[in-house]
Amino acid sequence: MRGFFEDKDFFRALGGLWFPIALQQLIFSLLGFVTITMIGQLGETAVAAVGLSNQILFLFQLLLFGVGSGSAIFVAQFWGKRDVKNIRRVLGVCVGLSLLGASLFSFIALVVPEFALALYTTDSAVIAQGSAYLRIVGWSYVPLAITTSYAVALRSTGNVRVPVSISIAALTFGAGLSYVLIFGAFGAPAFGVLGSAVSIVLARALECVVLLTIVYARGSVVAARPREMWAFDKPFLGHVLRAVLPVTLNEIVWSVGISTYSAIYGRIGTEALAAVNIATAIEAVAFVPFVGLAGGGAVLIGNAIGADQETHSLRYARRLLQIALGAGVLIGAIILVSADALLNLYNVDATTRGYAQQILMVMACGLWIKGANSTYIIGILRAGGDVRASALIDVGPLWLVGIPLASVAAFGLGLPVPWVYLATYSDEVGKGMLATWRVFSQQWIKNLVRRVAE
């Protein structure tokens, strides 16, 4: 334990990355929590409609996360060599793939939202409100794709403050505007859930414009001209895609699995779905430290591998896991003692509240393993270039264990939603066992940029 706390270089480097990443995620999560709390004043149907509509955004964001995570492996390792030319080529691949994804999800949101939402629920009122919401929010997907690509590249080169500051400012503006447009404050018309959608579009557009302006005005490492971004040949593209596509496919398959959980909850009933949405908004805030830990750790490990310092990456991995386990136990305890007070913020009926409280109990007890798994997959295995193994570990237990057990619990046994939610943690247990074995085997360290021609 003494050696753990004496590793000052590690904590200094991790803290410089962790704090801004965690702060950004904290603001995102708090704003999401505040938004769902405001919408919660409109009743269970509004909460369920926005929650299901955000499943489409959730799928899109995870596609962006997959493309970005795969690209970040290369950017971080290239930055270990200070290879700016190839960093900008990787950025071009990332932007192109992200915009393709944005085109697909924009079509779903703007043209066929009713079809998409009908996959989750049969409640016509929820589908109607959710579709109207999606037809507005869909306009935010293209600027989000561009912003995410540049933010990933900046973060992987150690520049986390610029994208974090801009995102916090833009989304804080969006949250304030949501309040005005949802409730009609300061003499504005009250648009209800549609007011939240308008504010999201304006905030994302503002975020994108400001980020690009600062990146190019300051001549950042990622301030690539079009000819630099698209200067890759087929061998380079193929090499990058061999890492990017497994990670992206991982996120797509994983996100469809998580959306399947939402569909199961939605088929149980609107109260069950609203309870899960409330609990997951709280979980998003609780999970902030793990997002910062995995993101910061991934940069450190990627930079170390790119600089041919494998012993450093092994030490970093052990430290990250120790921190994740300790934080999971501590934060879970905080949720246990504060759950009742948090639920007082929502104007929902007794059934929904009771479900949400029981779900929070399950969440609090299982947070340590969920946080460790996030660190394993994102902070260690992917950062080390072990993309295929991490993908199998991430999605295998979900589809082979979690979804079947949750389906049996919901439809075979007819159990209430807290028990169904508990069944979903079976995939986290399986994932944790496999990830532990893989990390301690030390087979995950792969220098991907060593083989890229200059």
Give the 3-state secondary structure of 345-406. CCCCCHHHHHHHHHHHHHHHHHHHHHHHHHHHHHHHHHCCCCHHHHHHHHHHHHHHHHHHHH
**CA–CA separation, 259 vs 398, rounded Å?**
11
pLDDT at 284 > cutoff 50: yes
Contact between 182 and 190 (Cβ < 8 Å): yes
State what percent of residues in the chain have pLDDT above 70.
95
- 175: nearest Cα among 203, 141, 142, 207: 203
Look at the pTM and tell me if it is higher than 0.75: no
DSSP 291-316: HHHHHHHHHHHHHHHHTT-HHHHHHH
- Mean pLDDT rounded to a whole number for the chain: 84
Contact between 403 and 323 (Cβ < 8 Å): no
Contact between 24 and 164 (Cβ < 8 Å): yes
- 322: nearest Cα among 380, 362, 398, 395: 380
Q: So what's the pLDDT on residue 454?
A: 45
CA 359, 361, 367, 369 torsion-angle sign: negative
pLDDT at 200 > cutoff 90: no
Band the pLDDT of 107: cuts 50, 70, 90. Answer: very high
58 Cβ contact partners less than 8 Å away, ≥ 6 residues apart: 255, 258, 259
pLDDT digits (tens, 9 = 90+) for 304-338: 887 777 788 888 888 888 899 999 999 999 998 88
State what percent of residues in the chain have pLDDT above 90.
25
pLDDT at 278 > cutoff 60: yes
Across 25-53, average pLDDT: 74
Residue 425: other Cβ atoms inside 10 A:
18
Q: Which of 225-229, 281-285, 345-349 has the lowest mean pLDDT?
A: 345-349
Band the pLDDT of 29: cuts 50, 70, 90. Answer: low
**CA–CA separation, 94 vs 76, rounded Å?**
14
**CA–CA separation, 391 vs 376, rounded Å?**
11
Across 98-122, average pLDDT: 89
Choose from 108-122, 138-152, 439-453 the range with maximum mean pLDDT. 138-152
pLDDT at 442 > cutoff 50: yes
Across 206-229, average pLDDT: 89
Q: So what's the pLDDT on residue 450?
A: 61
* Higher-pLDDT residue of 100, 238: 100
pLDDT at 346 > cutoff 90: no
Q: So what's the pLDDT on residue 1?
A: 47
**CA–CA separation, 220 vs 153, rounded Å?**
10
pLDDT at 6 > cutoff 70: no
Q: So what's the pLDDT on residue 422?
A: 94
**CA–CA separation, 103 vs 82, rounded Å?**
33
Residue with tokens 């991982």, as numbered in its chain: 250
Give the amino acid at 251: E
pLDDT at 399 > cutoff 80: yes
CA 427, 360, 126, 101 torsion-angle sign: negative
Residue 263: other Cβ atoms inside 10 A:
17
Q: So what's the pLDDT on residue 331?
A: 92
pLDDT at 435 > cutoff 50: yes
199 Cβ contact partners less than 8 Å away, ≥ 6 residues apart: 174, 175, 177, 178, 181
Helices 193-217 and 8-40: crossing angle, nearest 10°? 150
